[in-house]
Amino acid sequence: MATAAAGKVQRTLTGTVVSAKTAKTIAVEIERVLKHARYGKYIRRTTRLLAHDEAGEAKEGDTVTIAQSRPISRRKSWRLVAVVGRAGAV
């Protein structure tokens, strides 16, 4: 049973921090582009997820990578893996 859990692939997503106001929590907006089934036009869709940020290292506007984890609270079941890019850095 330990080998099955060890071989499991961790699901990660990359998005932008839109809020870092709460303690140890960041709101990350994930953007995806999909094609409309009938008209073929590309549509931009966003999903807003709450992620656990223990050290409080992510700030608004940063690009971050988050990974799925066990439920930490009612809406929070993702955790911060790394800050990919800082806000304002060109």
Confidence of residue 11 (pLDDT cuts 50, 70, 90): very high
* Domain membership flag for residue 1: no
Q: CATH number for the domain including 60?
A: 2.40.50.140
Q: Is 88 exposed, middle or buried (0-12, 13-18, 19+ CB in 10 A)?
A: exposed
* Domain membership flag for residue 2: no
In this prediction, residues 76-82 reach a mean pLDDT of 97
Q: What's the whole-model pTM score?
A: 0.84
* Domain membership flag for residue 56: yes
Give pLDDT, residue 57.
95
Structural domain count, the chain? 1
Domain of residue 70, residue span: 9-85
Rounded Cα distance, 53 and 60, in Å: 13
